[in-house]
Structure 1
Amino acid sequence: MVSLAPRLDFRQTQQLVMTPQLRQAIKLLQSSNLEVSAFVEEELERNPMLEREEGSVAVAATQAEPDCFEAASSSTMPAEGAAPIEADWSAGYESGEALYPSRGGRMDSWDEDGRSLEEIAGERPRSLRELLAEQARLTFGDSRDRFIAGQMIALLDPAGRLSVTDAAIAGALGCEEAVVTAVRRRMQRFDPPGLFCADLRECLAVQLAELNRLDPAMQALLDNLEMLARRDMAGLLRVCGVDAEDLSGMIAEIRRLNPKPGAVTDGEQAPLVVPDVLMRRLPDGTWQLELNPETLPRVLVNRGFHATAQTGSRSKEDKAFLAEKLQAANWLVRSLEQRANTILRVAAEIVRRQEGFFRHGVGHLRPLILRDVADELGMHESTVSRVTANKYIATPRGTLELKYFFTTAIAGMRGGESFSAEAIRHRIRDMVNAETAEDVLSDDAIVERLRAEGVDIARRTVAKYRDALRIPSSVQRKREKSAPVL
């Protein structure tokens, strides 16, 4: 017979409590240096126990051989009247006391903004670089081409010109000049057209081509813009081979074009990416990594102020306030130190594993997943994911997001060495580029060739990569190659 009488039971369970301290550490870890600096500035205003460390030049750094990277812990030079932290790191997992009450806590505002999507979207117009980055993502299915496009967007001047030559970009990125040229040609048709050109003549030519008005006479006019500037109409009539009425109409068309398409947006230009980690090659061939001192927030606990505030008669509420602020200051300083060391260790491991990329270029990216770095450093995958989010490293091959270096692995035949998915996509494109009208490769034929090279790949994977590269099917390619040239 089941008893329906009330009774009291005791149960013992274990669970991880997400305290405000732990939430703060996680937010700081996944935020960029600029975001962390903004947060620290607010804390300096709110917490009298914190003070900015002035004049410190000591930054966490690592110097290592290509196959041996060791990240050194950050060192600090305490300012007068302040002392290094003495907080217990485990307190954030055990304490249930709130560091920041919900009525004024900065961390609460990070989680729940309270604004509608319309309010957020309406804060500012999208910058030209943001618009171009979106067009690049939609245009280029190949990550290599997207990477090249990103570098070109970063190199644009305010007028929309790209003064760096294709050869220079190719040399810096370790790829073929023809590939860079092909990417730039496609980006010149982005909205607004005429960007990524070397000079005014090329800029106007691209815009006229977009309007289907770049005929031989107009090209001759563009090739002699200096004569137009001198108002040498007789000379222009001669070189263009048109009459006065046609020349007048051609000049009117040119005047309707935009000589500076980079200045068409009303919003401010998006700021250049500020790297969180700096990388340089030393004379002995090793790499040195350090956190960017320009954006690295440095704060100390002002124990001199705390000692002064504790003297004399204080109410219970005042003492509780001082204790709370001291605990918050200790925890913030410890969180910043832990964040700096973690970022540096993860960046050093990425550089060690992608050594071939930094020395030889994009084609030498190795397969890499979050678990590889996490296992090597004794971290959780989620920690590595947060560290690489919104973090950039300035390298000899450009400023890159840390997540860029993680590429999918394709298994090798019979347990052999795995291959980077990016390298396989490059190989597929090379095969297609080498085709002739009599020898067009089907997806099955590409699979056979890759397996002969030791790559264990399925036909559906080849088809997926081919679609991502915007390569037509073998039937369509054969039809195009067999078509007569007009």
Structure 2
Amino acid sequence: MDFNLNISQEQKLIMTPQMQLSVKILQLSSYELQKLVEKEIQENPLLEVKYGENREKSNTIDYKKMIEYLESDNYGYYGNYKSDDEEVSPFAFISEKKSLKEYLFEQLCYLNEKDSIKFIGEYIIENIDDRGYLAETLENIQNQLRMPLDLVEEALEVIQSLEPDGICARDLKECLRIQCEKRGLYDTILFGIIDNHLEDIAENKYNSIARSFNIDVKKAQSYGDFIKTLQPKPSRGFYTGEEVRYILPDAYIKKLDGEYHIIMNEELTPRLTINNLYKGIINNGEDKQAVEFVKDRLDSATFLIKSIEQRKSTIYRVLEKIILIQKDYFDHGQKYLKPMTLKEIADVLEMHESTISRAIRDKYIHTDKGTIKIRDLFTTGLTFKGAEDSLSTVEVKRKIEDLINKEDKSNPLSDQNIADTLKNNGVNISRRTVAKYREEIGIKSSKGRKRY
């Protein structure tokens, strides 16, 4: 072993910080882009927001027209006004989201229980998680409140007696048992299945359950069917404090005079411009340190504006090609979605596949069929009735689902049976691919679908 000095020549792409920012902006979702722009505006004094005339005009409200619109759209209550004596409370128009914990607090308030039980009960309610389960052990609650364990257990029983059924359970098994007890069911076999055979129900292993309790398979299956009707998440349907994040489409696809047009969503980000105040500092040139700072910030601001425009242009070009390929989908719906890959679009636009992938990542478009994710329009295909024709994976999955829906549940189709049926209908597909698509659409294997 020794040390040597060698000279080698190689080509290597080194991404500058500006190139990295450009790539990052391209792949950001609309929500992430808004956050980035807000952060840059705060950090870069040269950037300023300029709103268009439409936004300024929107601040002026024609109240007469607004009232006419509300009345015509039945938003007012004037049409239902019956008499001068009838008063309408202003509180009737207040909309409120009642959380699960608030609902439980209200029920606890009206119970005829000791103050100590209510005090512990309130603490227990505060420790219920988003699923509706108790997130703390009784021992921890006892230590925190310094109360006797028997009182804590009594308070837990009180909370578990409230609605919704199964609330404040410590695990899934207890949650299901509580729901059974509230329905007046105290079947030892039912409770035995809940305690020891939930996995068997999930895997459709009713033979194993039948042997364990010395009952026939059909009876075991009926127990499983009932357990599946119980609610594993008692909090479902209640507000748990998480706000819905609404999707902001990057573009709108509108059909005008038989042709589809792309309208980019200009409301996603404010229009950015350079503050003229700082141009004077560069022109003056007296303070060299200030000039260097302004030039650096100016380069950063200019590149950000160009990157956002480049992002918009790239998405527009990608959508143009998608509309050309998927016109039948936009006209007639999901079953007319054609096979389309990133490489196909990349070759037409003379871009790299990774660029197309970034351009459609977490991006949405609004169409007359609703808001859809751009990536959902990309799908591979399978040969159908010859090499020239192909069928999208979406349509193949639909065909698999149709076959399973129509099967004899006492003798369900195997993946090989489905593959053979599709091949007979011209779809070239293997058993392994059928299994993959079946799992993707959330359908169990033939063993898991069997009914006794």
User: Normalising to structure 2: TM-score of the pair?
Assistant: 0.56
Deviation at 1:347, TM superposition (A): 2.4
Match of residue 305 from structure 1? 277
Pairing partner for 2:375 from 366, 387, 403: 403
Secondary structure of 2:266's partner? Answer: coil
Pairing partner for 1:324 from 296, 301, 304: 296
Deviation at 1:338, TM superposition (A): 0.6
Q: Is the 8 A contact 2:281 2:290 kept in 1?
A: no
Deviation at 1:159, TM superposition (A): 7.5
Secondary structure of 1:289's partner? Answer: strand
Pairing partner for 1:366 from 338, 353, 375: 338
Pairing partner for 1:290 from 246, 249, 263: 263
For residue 33 of structure 2, what is the amino acid of its counterpart?
V
Q: Is the 8 A contact 2:282 2:295 kept in 1?
A: no
Distance 1:447 1:262, change over 3 A: closer
| 1:344-363 matches, cutoff 5 A | 344-363=316-335
For residue 285 of structure 1, what is the amino acid of its counterpart?
G
Pairing partner for 1:54 from 33, 48, 51: 51
Q: Distance in 1 between matches of 2:294 and 2:27?
A: 29
Q: Distance in 2 between matches of 1:47 and 1:468?
A: 46
> What is the CA deviation profile of residues 160-180 of structure 1, one whole-angstrom value per residue up to 9, with x for unaligned ones?
9xxxxxxxxxxxxxxxxxxxx
Match of residue 423 from structure 2? 451
Match of residue 14 from structure 2? 17
Pairing partner for 2:250 from 276, 290, 295: 276
Deviation at 1:376, TM superposition (A): 1.8
Structure 2 gaps of 5+ residues are: 56-95, 100-129, 133-162, 168-175, 185-232
| 1:166-205 matches, cutoff 5 A | none
Secondary structure of 2:284's partner? Answer: coil
Q: Distance in 2 between matches of 1:428 and 1:312?
A: 73
Q: Distance in 2 between matches of 1:358 and 1:299?
A: 34
Distance 1:9 1:457, change over 3 A: closer
Q: Distance in 2 between matches of 1:425 and 1:211?
A: 37
Secondary structure of 1:295's partner? Answer: coil
Match of residue 41 from structure 2? 44
> What is the CA deviation profile of residues 413-458 of structure 1, one whole-angstrom value per residue up to 9, with x for unaligned ones?
5413121112111111212323347986443332232223221111
Identity %: 35
Structure 1 gaps of 5+ residues are: 59-156, 161-189, 193-202, 216-257
Pairing partner for 1:423 from 378, 395, 404: 395
Distance 1:445 1:260, change over 3 A: closer
Secondary structure of 2:372's partner? Answer: strand
Distance 1:448 1:28, change over 3 A: same
Q: Distance in 2 between matches of 1:33 and 1:438?
A: 49
Distance 1:57 1:29, change over 3 A: farther
Q: Is the 8 A contact 1:49 1:301 kept in 2?
A: yes
Q: Distance in 1 between matches of 2:98 and 2:236?
A: 6
Match of residue 137 from structure 1? none
1:28 paired with 2:28, answer: no
| 1:53-452 matches, cutoff 5 A | 53-55=50-52, 211=179, 262-265=237-240, 267-282=241-256, 284-302=257-275, 304-412=276-384, 414-436=386-408, 441-452=413-424
> What is the CA deviation profile of residues 214-246 of structure 1, one whole-angstrom value per residue up to 9, with x for unaligned ones?
89xxxxxxxxxxxxxxxxxxxxxxxxxxxxxxx
Q: Distance in 1 between matches of 2:356 and 2:397?
A: 26
Q: Is the 8 A contact 1:158 1:262 kept in 2?
A: no
> What is the CA deviation profile of residues 92-124 of structure 1, one whole-angstrom value per residue up to 9, with x for unaligned ones?
xxxxxxxxxxxxxxxxxxxxxxxxxxxxxxxxx
Q: Distance in 1 between matches of 2:368 and 2:98?
A: 26
User: Normalising to structure 1: TM-score of the pair?
Assistant: 0.53
Distance 1:12 1:56, change over 3 A: farther
Q: Distance in 1 between matches of 2:52 and 2:444?
A: 59
Deviation at 1:299, TM superposition (A): 0.9
Deviation at 1:404, TM superposition (A): 1.5
Q: Distance in 2 between matches of 1:437 and 1:271?
A: 40
Deviation at 1:469, TM superposition (A): 4.0
Deviation at 1:340, TM superposition (A): 0.8
Q: Distance in 1 between matches of 2:375 and 2:338?
A: 13
Distance 1:410 1:57, change over 3 A: farther
Q: Is the 8 A contact 2:379 2:393 kept in 1?
A: yes
Deviation at 1:375, TM superposition (A): 1.4
Q: Distance in 1 between matches of 2:261 and 2:336?
A: 20
Q: How many residues align?
A: 296
Deviation at 1:333, TM superposition (A): 1.5
More contact order relative to length (CA 8 Å, sep ≥ 6)? 1
Q: Distance in 1 between matches of 2:412 and 2:362?
A: 42
For residue 18 of structure 1, what is the amino acid of its counterpart?
M
Q: Distance in 2 between matches of 1:263 and 1:432?
A: 34
Secondary structure of 2:35's partner? Answer: helix
Say what the alpha-carbon RMSD is for the aligned residues: 3.9
For residue 14 of structure 2, what is the amino acid of its counterpart?
V
Distance 1:312 1:7, change over 3 A: same
Match of residue 102 from structure 1? none
